[in-house]
Chain A
Amino acid sequence: ETGVTQTPRHLVMGMTNKKSLKCEQHLGHNAMYWYKQSAKKPLELMFVYNFKEQTENNSVPSRFSPECPNSSHLFLHLHTLQPEDSALYLCASSQVRTGGPSYNEQFFGPGTRLTVL
């Protein structure tokens, strides 16, 4: 148990559906991340929210829309996805420290296994 929960754990959706992935962290962290892990490919960073502000968007298609209403919750809204978007979507959080460089260990949730038909 890492302190980061994700729901649902599994999701099957059609290409015309709209769904949302939810992530919640119970660690008091101030940064949250979405990653995508496709079969046979490395983890790819999708979005970063730092103090609820989106600070990174790694050229992610607009059919993926993140939302961070507060520092504990992160959503990934999905619409008109393609079969190649099928993957494990992982959420992570970390505590960003100020006052100088430091390593901010990321704590990952269990992921949502998404299948797009």
Chain B
Amino acid sequence: LAKTTQPISMDSYEGQEVNITCSHNNIATNDYITWYQQFPSQGPRFIIQGYKTKVTNEVASLFIPADRKSSTLSLPRVSLSDTAVYYCLVGPLNTGFQKLVFGTGTRLLVSP
């Protein structure tokens, strides 16, 4: 599975847009990029997934450049409740169960 690199931590203020970038230089042709969010004392939660260009849902946007060697999770107008650890995962779709490989993630702290 492709190795990912993310900033260890980021700070932001309420109402700001937050962009978290993930590097995955060795991404394979059949790999997808998935982001999970984890609040303290809870399990991770799926946020968004994409293969190329841009994906948007009600929570976030995911930008993937043409070379796919990096991706950026964008959180619009963050609130205090967005304080969490964000994980970038890269791997192929499978015919069976999904083997998720989590890195250390990015700890986002949103302040008033």
Contact = CB atoms under 8 A, between A and B. Distances in A.
Interface of A: 2, 4, 31, 33, 42-43, 45, 48, 50, 55-56, 88, 90-92, 94, 96, 98, 100-111, 113
Given A31-B97, A42-B103, A48-B97, A103 B42 contact: no
Interface in B1-51: 32, 34, 41-46, 49
B43 A92 contact: yes
B43 A4 contact: yes
A56 B99 contact: yes
Contact of A104 (B41, B42, B45, B98): B98
Contact of B43 (A101, A104, A105, A111): A111
A54 B105 CA distance: 28
* Chain B binding surface SS class: loop
Contacts of A106: 44, 46, 98, 100
Interface residues of B, number: 23
Contacts, number: 68
* Chain A binding surface SS class: strand
Interface of B: 32, 34, 41-46, 49, 92-105
Contacts of B95: 98, 100-102
Given A42-B103, A42-B104, A103 B45 contact: no
16 contacts: A4-B43, A42-B105, A45-B101, A55-B96, A55-B97, A90-B43, A90-B44, A96-B96, A102-B94, A103-B32, A104-B97, A105-B46, A106-B98, A109-B43, A110-B42, A113-B41
Contacts of B42: 108, 110-111
A106 B100 CA distance: 9
B43 A110 contact: yes
Given A103-B34, A103-B49, A108 B44 contact: yes
Contacts of B93: 101-103
Nearest to B92: A101
